[in-house]
Amino acid sequence: MVLRVAVIGAGPAGLCAARFLSAEPERYLPTVYEQTAAVGGTWVYTDRTGTGEHGLPVHSSMYKNLRTNLPKEAMVFQDFPYDSGLPSYLPHEEVLRYLEKYAKHFGLHQYIQVSFELLTVTSFKVTAPDSPSTEQFDAVMVCNGGRYSVPYIPAVPSIDQFQGGTMHSHEYRVPEPFRGRNVIIMGALASGVDICVELAQVAEHVVISHSNPPTVEIHNLPANVTQAPRVECIVGPNTVRFQDGQVFNADDIVYCTGYSLSLPFLTPECGITINEGRAYPLYKHVINTTYPTMSFVGLTHHATSFSLFQLEVKLALGALDGSLRLPSKAVMDQEIDKDFKTRVEAGLVPRQAHDVFPLYLSHITELAKVTRQPDPLGQTSMAIDSFLRLFSDPQHFRNAEYKVTGQETWEMVPQQTDRQKQSTAK
């Protein structure tokens, strides 16, 4: 019997799911539903913010000058390499080109329905608002992540008094509107640091505000950037006070504070609840323990995404075809609760329930073990190295070049000085 499988989303996770489903035509028939007009998910750049040309919300958070904050060697599907001549850190256009090539190479377009707006998804049914019928499936794989489209904006006391500009990084596209202005960046993880460095090239002054003590120390920022603890409150039309008492007159505030988990198409019949950004009950953050034929790929956050997607797809397919024997629902739910407790003890809040970074190595290794797949240890260690470099030298860390030397090993490629480059050119 061939199982009909609905795949929600044609970004990297959905393409990965379609690739492995379509590789077994005697077992699976995938149908991929994509809301936009193209594959690539969040890697599809648009100048537009708010709503797109068809009136639907713009889901991509891509900005014009974005380059990856992970080397390509750490964000690659294990069975489909990037072009060898590309540098380690890529502009977003190259990642999208890679995903388009991936879809073409594995013949995935025949399974994808683009410009498809979902109305509801249950554990076995998919309904569109303009369709007179409901499609029935044997399994559903939710691969749109729900991670990067609904901004999370923390409460700031007296923010209504602030008369400057405010935006979330989801709406950020180019630095030019901030030329000559004084800007506060709220949030100092990857996107906050990246946007801070870009704005420093045109702004008068930038303050990057982060937790106190900071999650990660940031070094070697531009000269016109100041670090500060969290914003305490607004004390005037353009005046912001921080937790250490210092004040700053700002023209703009940019929230780089992450996103709220959003899966509005899921119905209660799915057996999934979302409370404060935590989707429950998901075994290994993938399998719906109420209905194991429903899985979630790409829900996890702060990870070497492509290799992790591949492991999550393998877990979902193993549960479908019976090659992986899942524990009982009670045992899986106990493990979910234990995992969440560990995160809380590490200082995370519920909306960070699916952040894998505090348990990064153990999570990846456990998934590889359960799915009987190679552990992408080399990619994982490269990602950690890159993460540390981002915060130690955010202006120059992308100059680094990585070379894979084995399944679990890699090395840095020595960088030529300007004099060496000139000598080579002669």
Per-residue pLDDT, 212: 61
DSSP code at position 176: G
Residue 355: its pLDDT value, please?
Answer: 82
pLDDT for residue 423 = 37
**Angle at CA of residue 358, ends 363 and 380, nearest 5°:** 55
Q: Which residue has the higher pLDDT, 122 or 218?
A: 218
Residue type, 201: Q
Instruction: Indicate the average pLDDT of the chain.
Output: 90
pLDDT of 300 reads 86
SS3 163: coil
pLDDT per position as a tens digit, 78-90: 899 999 899 999 9
195-210 confidence digits (pLDDT tens): 999 999 999 999 999 9
The pLDDT assigned to 417 comes to: 42
CA quadruple 145, 262, 289, 338: dihedral sign: positive
State percent of the chain over pLDDT 90: 70
DSSP string computed for 15-64: HHHHHHHHT-TTTEEEEEE-SSSSS-GGG---S--SB-TTSSBP-----T
The C-alpha torsion from 78 through 81 and 87 to 91, rounded to 10°, is -90
Summarised one tens digit per residue, pLDDT across range 19-37 is 999 999 999 999 999 988 9
Q: Evaluate if residue 52 carries a pLDDT over 70.
A: no
CB atoms within 10 A of CB 352: 19
pLDDT at 215 (0 to 100): 65
Give the domain 159-255 fold.
FAD/NAD(P)-binding domain (3.50.50)
Nearest by Cα to 364 from 411, 406, 315: 315
Q: Dump pLDDT digits (tens) for 371-406.
A: 999 988 888 899 989 999 999 999 999 999 999 998
Judged by average pLDDT, the poorest of 158-172, 312-326, 407-421 is: 407-421
pLDDT score, position 311: 95
What architecture (CATH level 2) is domain 3-150+259-381? Answer: 3-Layer(bba) Sandwich (3.50)
Burial (Cβ within 10 Å: 0-12, 13-18, ≥19) of residue 53: exposed
Read off the pLDDT of residues 123-153 as tens digits, 9 standing for 90 and up: 788 887 766 668 899 999 999 876 777 899 9
Query: Does 351 or 51 have the greater pLDDT score?
Result: 351
Strand order in the sheet with 282-283: 112-113, 28-33, 3-8, 139-142, 294-296, 287-288, 282-283
> Where does the pLDDT of residue 419 fall: very low under 50, low under 70, confident under 90, or very high at 90 and above?
very low
Q: pTM of the full predicted structure?
A: 0.92
Task: Identify the pLDDT of residue 131.
Answer: 64
CB contact at 8 A, 192 and 256: yes
Q: What's the pLDDT at 354?
A: 87
Q: Which pLDDT score, from 0 to 100, does residue 277 have?
A: 87
Predicted local distance difference test score (pLDDT) of residue 80:
97
User: Rg (Cα) of the chain, in Å, rounded?
Assistant: 22
Residue 189 has pLDDT above 50, yes or no: yes
Q: How far apart are the two ends of the chain, measured CA to CA in Å?
A: 65
Residues of the chain with CATH 3.50.50.60: 3-150+259-381, 159-255
pLDDT in tens, 248-287: 999 999 999 998 888 888 999 999 999 988 999 999 999 9
The whole-number pLDDT of residue 363 equals 84
Residue 426 has pLDDT above 60, yes or no: no
More confident residue, 277 or 310: 310
SS3 273: strand
CB atoms within 10 A of CB 362: 11
- Report, as an integer, the average pLDDT of 314-340: 96
